[in-house]
Structure 1
Amino acid sequence: MQARISPTSPSHPERAHNVTPPPKAWNNNSWMMYVALSLVIGFFAGLVGIIIVLRWEGLWYRFGLVPPSTLTDSIGGIVRSLSSEEATIQQVESRLREKVSPALIGLYRSEARTNIGDDILSPEGFVAWGILMTNDGVFVTVQDALPPGDLIAKMQNGQTYPVTLKSSDAVHGLQYASVELQQSSVADLTDTQGYVILGQSVYTFEADLLGRPGSMVRHPIISNDGVPGTSGGVIHSSEDAAASLILGSSTVGVSPGTPVADRGGKIIGIVRAVGPEGITAVTSDTIADSLRSFLENDAVVYPFLGLHYIDLSEDPSFVRIFDVNEQVGAYVYGGDEPAVISGSPSAVGGVQEGDIITHIGSETLTASVSLADALRSVTASNGEITLSLRRGTDTREIKVTLEFR
């Protein structure tokens, strides 16, 4: 739209007289008035300029500059983080003490019974932490942390109970045991089935560990073992591989059996080992699967298919690397190892290297449902399954009877 231009003709056409008016006298009041007026005009002009600059960010990007709003948003976020960090840590610690602590059991050598103090963290005879998993006294700890001989468990309320060892999960290094509780101390932590409510373990986040001295130690989780992209190269997945969290290298106050909790006060793992390379923890997802197997079978068993595979949905480049037409599914591949283990259910059923498994029974493998996920629903009572797979351009169905180990 063109701007309207008004004519500048004088309002009086008669010729102006060449008369010089006398100069006006300046006084202090006039000077102050002009200064005040200039300041007001300058303020509003600057305000309009700021609005224009912040509103028309496209001009900044056109000249290759970062608009001021981006910088102010970043600074604002940093300031908000710094201002809330102290309160957040305090809230987290309070939440952990409230929700996680009641589920913790201190395990001690039986001979230390008379020397254990009132505090559950009493170091005299301390062996490891246990995490109460059900409201009737079943708990989990780390197998390698337990010495031979009798153990006693000390609860948060100060009561002690003899420990009865149950089945172990050798794949993940877990040990199940139980105590006969007179009064459940975790009723408010359990769901309708009486299980302790676990948080979901994720691959990258900041977790909190409750250390043996009673202080909360914060560690960043570096990676999840077996997840493509975290350690470089192609990961050869296997259904019997231990899923574990690799935590930061600081090991102060951390011992096998130490629970890993998130900021919401839910347990998302348990420390399996502490060494020079850092801390290894079993994830809550793995604990949940293991516990379910133990409670259903009175022993921990896993379905064994007997093959190595790559989840094609983990990386779009796998389609090009392995020259396949499917973008999801389990690509049977062993790398330096046999893709199909000799004598295994897969070998007996006729699975071959290069096959792409797309279904297990009626379960379709997707980006969110892996082969291992689909196998979790298979129990010993329904161990015969049908694998749907792609072999070249053909689609085949193979019946396989799983083993349970």
Structure 2
Amino acid sequence: MEDKTGVPGRAGRGDEPDRPLREPAPIDRPRIDDAVAASFSRPKGVPGGFDPSRRGTPGPGPSGAPNENGVPGRPSGPQPADPALAQAFGPEDGTENGIQRHPSWQDEVSAPQPPQPDPWRDPQAPVGIGTPALEEQPHPEPVDLSRTDDTPATRLSLSEALFERRLSRRALGAAVAAVAVVALVGGAIGAVVADSARVLTTSTVRIADAPDNVVRPDNTVGDVAQRVQPAVVNIQVSSPSARGEGSGIVIDPDGYIVTNNHVVTMDGAADRADIDVVFSDGSRAPAEIVGRDPATDLAVIKVENVQNLTVAALGDSDSVEVGEQVIAIGSPLGLVRTVTEGIVSATQRPIALGESTSDGDVVIDAIQTDAAINPGNSGGPLIDGTGAVIGINTSIFSQTGGSIGLGFAIPVNDVRNIATELMTEGSIQHATIGVNARKADNGSVEGAEIVNVRDGSPAQEGGLQEGDVVTKVGDRLVRSSDELVIAVRRAGADNDVPVEVVRNGTRVELTVRPALG
């Protein structure tokens, strides 16, 4: 290529000027001394390397002939090995398979042969008959029962044991006995299961009876009630205009029966009425009123010509304790021989029985109980755990008319005294001091406030005045007007009794002698 001046230049863009070419860098060859050259240079007459592809690259002559430079060429093709080298490094079998193995490998086994092809995985494999899938089982050897070594014996089949006589008679008998025992046990279990299933599926009704030898728990309430019930009676009262009933107990073998005054008078509705007594055995007899005490709601009636009466045992009401178990027996709601059970929930509970049974101050010093008492229980006994009568059931507190666990009984010690007086005298009078009182409600003192004092009464003679608040009579504290009545009765008539009052904020002690009123 020439530039614009006609001087040859380097090929490039037309706007580049021609640059001079650099001379090639000289080759720096290290000096090789004669000893190194003698050791590592080519042999004389060998122009090239040892590459087998360059073997036989001599001149134009046949193999081994000199080339154009006069150097003899190497023969072409493989040359025979040196015998010494072939013996030292050639293969053992004489073949040209490669370099001989290391001497330490001489003891190794030859490589395993490749596995035969699996005809089941080769779809092109030919079809042929092979070995059977199951090998033929050898016939079992006879069992030697006499051997004593620990080698496990071959098990016998049922046919061998029964028909080929491989077991002794004794062993066969033991096996038969074991089978019989298993069959019996299985049959018993099957019978029980079948009977249980039949109970669930059969249409026949079977009611099992309780065994006779069952030990029943002690029935204390039942035993007490069974002893006392013959002494409890049902009292039926009727008049031309009314009818009522209640309960009572026999207190004397001559036919005396104690009950409530409001039972025989039908709550004051009749002065005289027909009274019938129904005993526990169902027999019936008419009764007459012997005497009654409206102030304590007690009455005594008597039946005639009734033999072999069971008399109730009277206990001691002063020894009754709160929490003691008690039993009530009577005819609530007309249901005769009804037994209820509870405890004593309070003692010395002053209770006013109300205007419906009142012929005066009707107040009792009651035993409170939670044993169920309902209309018809009135006049019936309240019994302790020994079977002794400790009270006569007389009233309940209820907003509905039914039992709510607040029943009241007249203490039997009061009943005994009053009933004896009624049986002998036909009437009774109680101690009184001749005052009307009410419960003190001024908040500063608790007691019975005197509202008025009758002229010439024991209270007037003892110095009591209107406005006095009685807080104590004898040894008994007074917390209400009802308790004042009870305290005066307990003190008795014709006995000087200390009375403590609060007058104008000052405590004053007086002496009063109650009288019969």
- What's the TM-score once normalised by structure 1's chain length? 0.50
Match of 2:420 among 282, 292, 308: 292
Instruction: State whether residues 328 and 339 of structure 2, in contact with CA within 8 Å, keep that contact through their aligned partners in structure 1.
Output: yes
Equivalent positions of 1:64-75 (< 5 A) are none
| Residues 266, 340 of structure 1: alpha-carbon distance in 2 compared, 3 angstrom cutoff | farther
* Partner Cα distance (1:385, 1:402) in 2: 8
The question of 1:280 aligning with 2:280 is answered no
Local SS of the residue matching 2:364: coil
The question of 1:132 aligning with 2:260 is answered no
* Partner Cα distance (2:476, 2:369) in 1: 29
Q: Choose between structure 1 and 2 for higher RCO, CA contacts under 8 A separated by at least 6 residues.
A: 1
The question of 1:247 aligning with 2:369 is answered yes
- What's the TM-score once normalised by structure 2's chain length? 0.41
The residue number in structure 1 matching 2:329 is 210
Local SS of the residue matching 2:460: helix
The question of 1:164 aligning with 2:283 is answered no
* Partner Cα distance (1:251, 1:401) in 2: 35
The residue number in structure 2 matching 1:28 is none
Q: State the identity as a percent.
A: 15
- The C-alpha deviation readout for 1:294-329, integer Å capped at 9, x for no partner, is 23532132111246699xxxxxxxxxx86xxxxxxx
Q: Which amino acid aligns with 1:345?
A: P
Equivalent positions of 1:190-205 (< 5 A) are 196-197=314-315, 200=318, 201-205=320-324
Match of 1:219 among 322, 342, 359: 342
| Residues 264, 373 of structure 1: alpha-carbon distance in 2 compared, 3 angstrom cutoff | farther
The question of 1:261 aligning with 2:261 is answered no
Match of 1:92 among 221, 236, 251: 221
* Partner Cα distance (1:87, 1:254) in 2: 31
User: Over alpha carbons, which structure has the higher Rg?
Assistant: 2
The question of 1:385 aligning with 2:385 is answered no
Local SS of the residue matching 2:246: strand
Instruction: State whether residues 275 and 286 of structure 2, in contact with CA within 8 Å, keep that contact through their aligned partners in structure 1.
Output: yes
Q: How many residues align?
A: 256
| Residues 387, 249 of structure 1: alpha-carbon distance in 2 compared, 3 angstrom cutoff | closer
| Residues 347, 216 of structure 1: alpha-carbon distance in 2 compared, 3 angstrom cutoff | same
* Partner Cα distance (2:470, 2:309) in 1: 51
* Partner Cα distance (2:308, 2:491) in 1: 30
Deviation at 1:397, TM superposition (A): 5.0
* Partner Cα distance (1:254, 1:202) in 2: 26
| Residues 220, 298 of structure 1: alpha-carbon distance in 2 compared, 3 angstrom cutoff | same
Instruction: State whether residues 263 and 378 of structure 2, in contact with CA within 8 Å, keep that contact through their aligned partners in structure 1.
Output: yes
Structure 1 unaligned segments of length 5 or more: list them: 1-85, 112-124, 191-195, 229-238, 311-320, 323-330, 360-364
Deviation at 1:388, TM superposition (A): 4.3
| Residues 340, 211 of structure 1: alpha-carbon distance in 2 compared, 3 angstrom cutoff | same
* Partner Cα distance (1:355, 1:211) in 2: 39
Structure 2 unaligned segments of length 5 or more: list them: 1-215, 352-360, 478-482
Deviation at 1:350, TM superposition (A): 1.7
The question of 1:183 aligning with 2:307 is answered yes
Instruction: State whether residues 140 and 175 of structure 1, in contact with CA within 8 Å, keep that contact through their aligned partners in structure 2.
Output: yes
* Partner Cα distance (2:508, 2:487) in 1: 25
Instruction: State whether residues 164 and 178 of structure 1, in contact with CA within 8 Å, keep that contact through their aligned partners in structure 2.
Output: yes
The residue number in structure 1 matching 2:431 is 303
The question of 1:102 aligning with 2:214 is answered no
Q: Which amino acid aligns with 1:154?
A: V
Q: Which amino acid aligns with 2:279?
A: M
Local SS of the residue matching 2:254: coil
Q: Which amino acid aligns with 1:180?
A: E
| Residues 249, 164 of structure 1: alpha-carbon distance in 2 compared, 3 angstrom cutoff | closer
Q: Which amino acid aligns with 2:391?
A: G
Instruction: State whether residues 244 and 281 of structure 1, in contact with CA within 8 Å, keep that contact through their aligned partners in structure 2.
Output: yes
Equivalent positions of 1:25-64 (< 5 A) are none
RMSD: 4.2
Q: Which amino acid aligns with 1:262?
A: D
Instruction: State whether residues 153 and 162 of structure 1, in contact with CA within 8 Å, keep that contact through their aligned partners in structure 2.
Output: yes
| Residues 393, 198 of structure 1: alpha-carbon distance in 2 compared, 3 angstrom cutoff | closer
* Partner Cα distance (1:297, 1:221) in 2: 33
* Partner Cα distance (1:263, 1:351) in 2: 45
Q: Which amino acid aligns with 2:246?
A: A
